A and B are shown apart, each in its own frame.
Chain A
């Protein structure tokens, strides 16, 4: 059975293009266009991995969604993608233990990441 990847982003174009890429890696992709739709979706769907945009309805939608996902499915790997780092120089890392406690994400990726690296990271988190 194909692994299910949930991709959440409020930019429809980014969403479409990511879906295409991740399907090309050989996964099944389910998309949501924001935190609200994603929250609806996960009531009935259990993905194997989630890729979340950071800033959607709110500046921290990705964090909140990640928190909720991890509450429901503690083992689910979550990637948060952001364009923020490249443009503002703000770096989101969760090196300290306190950060790990409140930012429930396994990995932060820049939106401009190369396709092959993206695939590698996904496979690593899925233990494939």
Chain B
């Protein structure tokens, strides 16, 4: 955006050439701009001519005299507004009619310049408008970038949903075509894996709901001063059947009440994610230990497991949306890749920290720290 087009619409040739002279060597520069902005001047003597140029050249700024032969300035303004063009219109007016000012503002005029104007008045008006346009377009660019990120997120999401669907469809076709013979026993794996992938998809959908709740912002408004232990107990009860199935013992080593400012449901999301990971990526006859400690104005919660552990290089990527560690041990484990990214987002909301340490084949430690009081 180094050149802005300015269309000057006035029936007096003197005004047009005057404006051209004043603006032709004019540059607008701000510390936050990469390069100064210069101007290209277009001219129209009538409203009709102005509308043609507007349509053909899309100027960025229109300096518009209201008193024109034929179509009035205000009609040009209406024309621009109806076309929904991204044009800033400045009315040049020789008489300060309140009625016109109100009407023009309603039709989207941005500013007024009295006629006759001094070079300084014109320049300062153009300078303001340039700044306005620059900021507006920068904001638009940022919004588009936001949309871009959303689009990426959605395309990964659709991939994550399609992959299990393909797997399930594949198994169903194998069963349908009796590809493994007539004995139902041959199909046990196909059925088991299909159920597993369905579970995985359900998990992803639930995680997605948590994710959107946090992303939508207004999520810390239910903060109460609550006891952590009963909430942790709910998570423990939730995970219990899964832990029994995996032959993993979970121990809560702190029994006394510990209070903290938190939204109950968000604390539950964090606990569910960390606990289910500690069980999911554990080994047979493994254990998970939980400690809660009060350290000064902070609460420290530790989840320690005797699981498969992680490589140093993987730890860094743990909190990235949809990231999952792929290796021999994790190949049969389903997961959305969103659990820890959700956890991290909530932790950030509460100005907390999470620290991860891990040793391959020994286990992992997740240590959470939160301020007791959210001011």
Which of A12, A37, A111 is B332 in contact with, Cβ under 8 Å? A12
* A69 vs B127: C-alpha distance when bound (angstroms): 63
Binds A, one of B15-23, B161-169, B213-221, B355-363: B161-169
Q: Which residues of A contact B326 (CB under 8 A)?
A: 10, 34, 56-57
**Least CB separation from B330: chain A residue:** A10
Which of B167, B189, B328 is A11 in contact with, Cβ under 8 Å? B167
**Least CB separation from A9: chain B residue:** B331
Query: Looking at chain A's contact residues, is the secondary structure mostly helix, strand, loop, or mixed?
Result: helix
User: Could you tell me if A87 and B155 are in contact, using CB atoms closer than 8 angstroms?
Assistant: yes
Whether, in the assembled complex, A20 has its beta carbon less than 8 Å from a beta carbon of chain B, the answer is yes
User: Could you tell me if B331 and A16 are in contact, using CB atoms closer than 8 angstroms?
Assistant: no
Those of A1-19 within 8 Å (CB) of chain B: 10-14, 16-17
User: Could you tell me if A13 and B170 are in contact, using CB atoms closer than 8 angstroms?
Assistant: yes
CB distance from B312 to the nearest CB of A (A): 15
Contacts A33-B331, A56-B326 given; indicate if A16 touches B163 (C-beta within 8 A): no
* A17 vs B180: C-alpha distance when bound (angstroms): 11
Contacts A16-B193, A34-B327, A34-B328 given; indicate if A83 touches B159 (C-beta within 8 A): yes
Interface size class on chain B is 20 to 34
Q: Which residues of B contact A16 (CB under 8 A)?
A: 189, 193
Those of B177-222 within 8 Å (CB) of chain A: 179-180, 189, 193, 197
User: Could you tell me if B328 and A36 are in contact, using CB atoms closer than 8 angstroms?
Assistant: yes
Q: Which residues of A contact B167 (CB under 8 A)?
A: 11, 13-14, 17
Whether, in the assembled complex, B85 has its beta carbon less than 8 Å from a beta carbon of chain A, the answer is no
Q: Which residues of B contact A10 (CB under 8 A)?
A: 326, 331
Contacts A12-B193, A12-B332, A83-B163 given; indicate if A17 touches B170 (C-beta within 8 A): yes
Q: Which residues of B contact A88 (CB under 8 A)?
A: 155
Whether, in the assembled complex, B253 has its beta carbon less than 8 Å from a beta carbon of chain A, the answer is no
User: Could you tell me if B327 and A14 are in contact, using CB atoms closer than 8 angstroms?
Assistant: no
Q: Which residues of B contact A111 (CB under 8 A)?
A: 166
Q: Which residues of A contact B189 (CB under 8 A)?
A: 16
User: Could you tell me if A87 and B193 are in contact, using CB atoms closer than 8 angstroms?
Assistant: no
Whether, in the assembled complex, B281 has its beta carbon less than 8 Å from a beta carbon of chain A, the answer is no
* A11 vs B330: C-alpha distance when bound (angstroms): 11
* A88 vs B159: C-alpha distance when bound (angstroms): 9
Which of B155, B159, B171, B328 is A17 in contact with, Cβ under 8 Å? B171
Q: Which residues of A contact B159 (CB under 8 A)?
A: 83, 87
Those of B38-65 within 8 Å (CB) of chain A: none
List the interface of chain B (C-beta within 8 A of A): 155, 158-159, 162-163, 166-167, 170-171, 174, 179-180, 189, 193, 197, 326-328, 331-332
Q: Which 5 A-B pairs have the closest CB atoms?
A: A13-B167, A17-B170, A87-B159, A33-B331, A57-B326
List the interface of chain A (C-beta within 8 A of B): 10-14, 16-17, 20, 24, 33-34, 36-37, 56-57, 83, 87-88, 111-112
